[in-house]
Amino acid sequence: MNSEAVSALIAKNPLLKASKAQLEAMEPGSYGIHRSWGFGQIKSYDETSQKLIIDFHNKKAHPMDPAFCIGTLQILPSNHLLVRKQTEPSVITKLISEDASQLLVEGLKAYPNNAATAIEIEITLAQVVGEEKFKKWWSAAKKAIAKDPRIAVPVKKTECYVLREIPVSAEDEIIEQFNTTRSARRRIALAEDLVAASGSKEVKGDLNAILAGLSESVKDSNQIDAAERLYGAFVRDALARQVGVDIATLVPSQADLIANVRELVSIAEKIPVQFQSRFLDLVKNTHPTEYRDAAFTLLKTSQGKFTTECINFLVEHGHSDELAASLKRWQIEQNLRAPVLLWIVKNRHSKKFAKLLNDLITPRLLSAVFFAIDYEALQAASARRIPLADILSEDTDLIADLLSTADPETARDLANALMLNQGFEELTKKSLLARFIKIFPGIQSIVAKEAESNEEQILVSRESYEAKRVEYESIVSKKIPENSKAIATAREHGDLKENSEYKMAKQDQTILMAQKSQLEKELSRARITDFKEATPDQVSVGSVIEVTIASSKKTAKYTLLGAWDSDPEQNILAYKTPLGLGLLGKKVGESVKVKIGTSEENYTIKSIGRYIDSR
């Protein structure tokens, strides 16, 4: 907008005088970001309507009141990256592909004091690079930016990237950050970065000071747990070697921190992935006579990559036969946990582990897999992924491999276990069941029976439905988790063959899972009714029927309600009972013969009323 147009607007609305500079910046050709419409370019100013004409990405030639734009449209300087993407596309494209650090340097120059928060930078760069490519590009770019001495990298997203007046080396920046933090956890992370980035004799004096500070954190800080303290000692020792300090003089030593074998499992749960292999070597060196048993204990409770590390460690140290025997025993005892099961099925075709795993690839292993998936699904607080369930679905040969030695009866039992499993969605269950049917066609009857039972709906009252639902929720959210804990506790008591607590808990589990499955089927088939559809013309669900009993010549009154509403003491019949089914559809004056047990009885209908009218 030229000065005459701005003056005309201010004359019309004197309150705009304070925003004169902003209005003057809204000149044709300039670029800006609107709070609602995003990035755009001012094309012209229509003096007749006193409106800016702006091209936004999805809204071309959009007229806007300049007064309204004061609080919603930010005019960008010509050196802003979004502007340069339009005016110098080849330059920006080259920086994106070849020099991410320089792209950020150019970006920071457009901000006051050459600084912008990490949030601002990421939003801008995502638009410059493109949303679909940004995540992968930014992951690699941050590594290059962290090494650039011209850029100060923030620790948090709310802090700023800063373009330094004087470049600072990566080592000096880490040292500066180390000296300004009192967090032991942060100091360990910075010292680890320093070990990776340094080695220069020029910073040796500073490294000694860092070593002293890190040693103090490892020794005395109450901010870190045992695993963090151990890893801190490992980083401390690596730094000590760089500056020529004898690690034997540093306390506590790594060996001191794992002196208690009983604490190894809790430590192993939290150690970083990159330290797992060294941790196992440290256990061997610290406990030369106990390390084998310790490694088996660690394997039994391992997670993720640590499972692989434990197995490789045992194999490399000559314990393959013991490992094969232990895995087989854990399978028999139903003590194989999900991470170990996942490793077994992933490596079942590995030549390296063929001898180790050959005897495990059986239907019994598939049963263990189903149990582990079901257990994890019941323990999960949310709908998180279950890796063992994913691989069972994605590896199309896995079920066939595990069923290769199964007989039809075993396969049927496993197919039933699949249908009851909580770790799969219904569509996935059907897909997996199709793999069973391909090998054992007779299992098709399970699908047919399931479909048949699901087709028939049953009528129930709202009260009985709610009672059934409460019963189901109690089993799923309380009884089954309690039973799972009881099984896990009983397992820890030793030999499962003589473990009565374990056997009882497993029996309870079978009963609970059957109850749960039955309730699911019933609730899925239920249709709630208020019984208003009943008529006095003929007997239906919701009828009150007066009958004459032939053998005694006495009369009786019955109320015919939903499938779960039976109350013999109140003469309330569920319509699914023999008498209820016999009476359905009958009219006044008609008789019905009903066999109950070994005796038969004739009932003649005297009158038909509606339950809803008698309430």
Burial (CB count <10 Å: 0-12, 13-18, 19+), residue 101: middle
Asked whether residue 463 is assigned to any structural domain, the reply reads: yes
The two tokens of residue 610 are: 């509606």
Q: Are 403 and 505 in a shared domain?
A: yes
Task: For residues 69 and 47, give the distance between their C-alpha atoms in angstroms, rounded to a whole number.
Answer: 16
Q: Are 203 and 313 in a shared domain?
A: yes
What is the maximal distance between C-alpha atoms in the chain?
Answer: 114
Asked whether residue 152 is assigned to any structural domain, the reply reads: yes
Asked whether residue 282 is assigned to any structural domain, the reply reads: yes
Predicted local distance difference test score (pLDDT) of residue 199: 55
Predicted local distance difference test score (pLDDT) of residue 201: 45
Grouping H, G, I as helix, E, B as strand and the rest as coil, residue 396 is coil
Half-sphere exposure of 341 (CA within 13 A, CB side): 28
Residue 355 CB neighbours (<10 A): 11
Of the three residues 498, 526, 554, the one that is the final residue of a domain is: 526
Region class of 336: left (phi > 0), else alpha (psi between -120 and 50), else beta: beta
The two tokens of residue 325 are: 């025997």
Q: Are 187 and 158 in a shared domain?
A: no
**How would you classify the pairing of strands 555-561 and 526-529?**
unpaired
Asked whether residue 351 is assigned to any structural domain, the reply reads: no
> What confidence tens digit (pLDDT) does each residue in 507-550 have?
788 788 878 878 888 888 888 999 998 989 999 999 999 999 98
> What confidence tens digit (pLDDT) does each residue in 68-124 have?
899 899 999 999 999 999 999 999 999 999 999 999 999 999 999 999 999 999 999
Task: For residues 82 and 78, give the distance between their C-alpha atoms in angstroms, rounded to a whole number.
Answer: 9
Of the three residues 526, 560, 584, the one that is the final residue of a domain is: 526
Q: Range of 93's domain?
A: 81-163
Q: Which CATH number belongs to the domain containing residue 55 in this structure? A: 2.30.30
Task: For residues 32 and 75, give the distance between their C-alpha atoms in angstroms, rounded to a whole number.
Answer: 4
Secondary element (H or E) of residue 376: helix 363-379
Task: For residues 217 and 384, give the distance between their C-alpha atoms in angstroms, rounded to a whole number.
Answer: 36
Q: Are 101 and 148 in a shared domain?
A: yes
Extract the residue ranges of the chain whose pLDDT is less than 70: 198-205, 378-384, 446-456, 492-500, 597-598
Apex CA 380: angle with CA 375 and CA 382, to 5°? 150
Residue 526 is classified by DSSP as E
Q: Give the bridge partners for 543, in sequence order.
A: 560, 610
pTM > 0.85: no
Q: Are 378 and 519 in a shared domain?
A: yes
Task: For residues 487 and 484, give the distance between their C-alpha atoms in angstroms, rounded to a whole number.
Answer: 5
Predicted local distance difference test score (pLDDT) of residue 255: 97
Q: Is the alpha carbon torsion for 254, 256, 259, 263 positive or negative?
A: negative
Region class of 38: left (phi > 0), else alpha (psi between -120 and 50), else beta: left
Cis peptide leading into 441, omega within 30 of 0? no
How many structural domains is the chain composed of? 5
Q: Are 284 and 407 in a shared domain?
A: no
Asked whether residue 58 is assigned to any structural domain, the reply reads: yes
Tokens 């990559």 locate to 305
Burial (CB count <10 Å: 0-12, 13-18, 19+), residue 197: middle
